[in-house]
């Protein structure tokens, strides 16, 4: 997945790692963290590297406090070492040096303030209400991710490697993360699709898409570096594409001229070969032969030039792996009310909430973690029984929910197989998965279990848009999607032929939302 990558992250640098789904961002982070071995090359870094994966592995029976204790184990070991050195000061002349070293380390990591820091992090990430004796299997995936992030920051490693750290964070939690990262003294490498986060914290961006090298002709180091955050990257990427397209156009013009020269010289040669020679004098014949030879050389030179241009031809900028747009065919029901929740309540997950969704509605659902956004979408979809209130839906209503966490029951099957099974062979033939532009051709026949989290999310999206529902519910739709696709999805939703309800923490999306907003827990 990665080849010839050279990357150095200096202390104090905060590098945002970006690229298409499957470009190798997570692979690179795992290699740097020592989780996956590398086939060639060298990885070096500080002694203590903190790594946050997208999906936190856990023992469902272990309590939450185990995650915290694992994180502070080095701090507790340092505390024991400091106490031992202090106890030896009177009888061991070398203890003073050990004590001074341990004391300096303790001050550097704020050894005596870690419990207060733990409480602040748990509070900031919305976990303070949970008992640390709660089993990990009893909390949501988002809560486990936030707990792992809090534990990682609490441990104060020398370097941070973070894979989509803001996926499950609300505004307050993101603000806390931004403060932590801006103040981090060591190197930070963040793989993220969170455009606002990249704008807030990145000192530079690294694009892992190898096609970016083509314009510069580089052959190694399959990445391109951009100074600044995401907004600066958008400007530079647009300029880069303009330069690339201009160079391709110039090469095409030169190639057309060279091909025309071949054709012209060949016609001239053909004319000389057919010219009558019956009355030629010897000199005229000799001159004609020389001219014919010169024309032949011009033909060969022109052909050689065409071959050189074709061999060194710069490929055009690749068409982005884009969201082709939601296909037409769903019957939009104008302004009819399609589904209604009346004082709907689901345990302690959703306080009594009322909401009406009409045929062309655009509804943004926002709120802090735990406010009930995902529960509200599941209730609208009719996937959850209500403890109080009621759901009323129009007869024949088709509702689809793009969930946050995608799980395919048959990971050994290919994306193409699952697509055909979900939409039917006839529909799959009329609208092939490849035509949606959500998966690269090389990924269509790979087992879905071998696809990245982002690629699996793209497949889940394809299963929905291939048969557009009357009501399209999206839970954190930009999570795990590439920056390019996230923007294209947002634009496509604007012309969706039905109702759209989106629950998201994505600050970039929310700032640009055109439609009404429902805020839970306000």
Q: What are phi and psi of 502, to 5 degrees?
A: -120, 130
Q: Which residues pair with 16 in a beta bridge?
A: 190, 205
Do 14-237 and 337-519 fold alike per CATH? yes
In angstroms, how far is CA 231 from the centroid of its own chain? 16
pLDDT tens per residue across span 322-376: 445 555 544 446 668 999 999 999 998 999 999 999 988 999 999 887 889 999 9
Residue 17 pLDDT exceeds 70: yes
Which class does domain 337-519 fall in? Answer: alpha beta
CB 354 within 8 A of CB 341: yes
Residue 219: the pLDDT is 45
User: CA dist 243 to 12, 215, 224, 320, 388, Å?
Assistant: 32, 8, 15, 17, 60
DSSP 259-275: HHHHHHHHHHHHHHHHS
Residue 417: the pLDDT is 95
Residue 35 pLDDT exceeds 80: yes
Residues 6+ away with beta carbon under 8 Å from 395? none
Q: Where are the domains positioned within the chain?
A: 14-237, 246-311, 337-519
pLDDT tens per residue across span 273-309: 555 555 555 445 545 555 666 667 777 777 788 788 7
Task: Give the rounded percent of residues in the chain with a pLDDT score beyond 70.
Answer: 87
> What does CATH list as the number for 14-237?
3.40.50.300
The span from the CA of 55 to the CA of 132, in Å, is: 20
């Amino acid at each position: 997945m990665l080849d010839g990558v050279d990357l150095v992250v200096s202390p104090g640098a905060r590098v945002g790692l970006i690229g298409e789904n499957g470009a190798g961002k997570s692979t690179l982070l795992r290699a740097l963290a020592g989780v996956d071995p590398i086939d060639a090359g060298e990885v070096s870094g500080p002694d203590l590297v903190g790594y946050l994966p997208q999906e936190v592995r856990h023992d469902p029976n272990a309590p939450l406090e185990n995650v915290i204790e694992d994180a502070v184990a080095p701090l507790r070991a340092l505390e024991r070492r400091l106490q031992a050195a202090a106890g030896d000061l009177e009888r061991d002349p070398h203890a003073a040096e050990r004590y001074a070293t341990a004391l300096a380390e303790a001050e550097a990591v704020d050894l005596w303030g870690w419990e207060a820091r733990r409480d602040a992090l748990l509070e900031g990430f919305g976990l303070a209400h949970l008992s640390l004796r709660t089993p990990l299997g009893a909390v949501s995936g988002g809560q486990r991710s936030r707990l792992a992030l809090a534990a990682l920051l609490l441990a104060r490693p020398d370097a941070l490697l973070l894979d989509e750290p803001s996926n499950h964070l609300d505004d307050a939690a993101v603000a806390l993360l931004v403060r932590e990262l801006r103040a981090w003294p060591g190197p930070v490498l963040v793989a993220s699709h969170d455009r606002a986060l990249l704008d807030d914290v990145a000192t530079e961006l690294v694009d892992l898409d190898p096609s970016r090298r083509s314009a510069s002709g580089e052959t190694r180091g399959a990445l391109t570096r951009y100074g600044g955050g995401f907004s600066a990257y958008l400007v530079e990427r647009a300029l880069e594409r303009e330069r690339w397209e201009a160079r391709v156009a110039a090469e095409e013009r030169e190639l057309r001229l060279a091909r025309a020269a071949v054709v012209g010289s060949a016609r001239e040669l053909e004319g000389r070969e057919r010219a009558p020679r019956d009355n030629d004098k010897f000199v005229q014949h000799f001159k004609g032969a020389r001219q014919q030879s010169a024309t032949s050389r011009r033909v060969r030179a022109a052909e050689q030039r065409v071959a050189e241009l074709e061999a060194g031809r710069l490929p055009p900028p690749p068409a982005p792996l884009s969201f082709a747009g939601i296909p037409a065919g769903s019957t939009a029901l104008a302004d009819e009310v399609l589904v209604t929740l009346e004082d709907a309540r689901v345990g302690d997950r959703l306080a009594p909430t009322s909401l009406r969704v009409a045929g062309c509605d655009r509804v943004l659902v926002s709120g802090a973690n735990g406010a009930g956004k995902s529960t509200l979408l599941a209730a609208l979809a009719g996937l959850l029984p209500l403890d109080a209130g009621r759901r009323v839906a129009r007869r024949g209503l088709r509702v689809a929910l793009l969930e946050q966490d995608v799980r395919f029951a048959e990971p050994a099957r290919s994306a193409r197989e699952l697509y055909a099974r979900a939409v039917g062979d006839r529909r799959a033939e009329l609208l092939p998965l490849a035509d949606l532009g959500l998966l690269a051709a090389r990924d269509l026949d790979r087992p879905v279990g071998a696809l990245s989290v982002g690629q699996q999310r793209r497949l889940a999206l394809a299963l929905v848009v291939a048969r557009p529902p009357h009501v399209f519910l999206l839970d954190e739709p930009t999570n795990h999607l590439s920056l390019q696709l996230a923007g294209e999805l947002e634009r496509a939703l604007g012309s969706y032929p039905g109702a759209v309800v989106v629950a998201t923490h994505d600050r970039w999306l929310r700032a640009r939302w055109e439609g009404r907003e429902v805020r839970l827990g306000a």
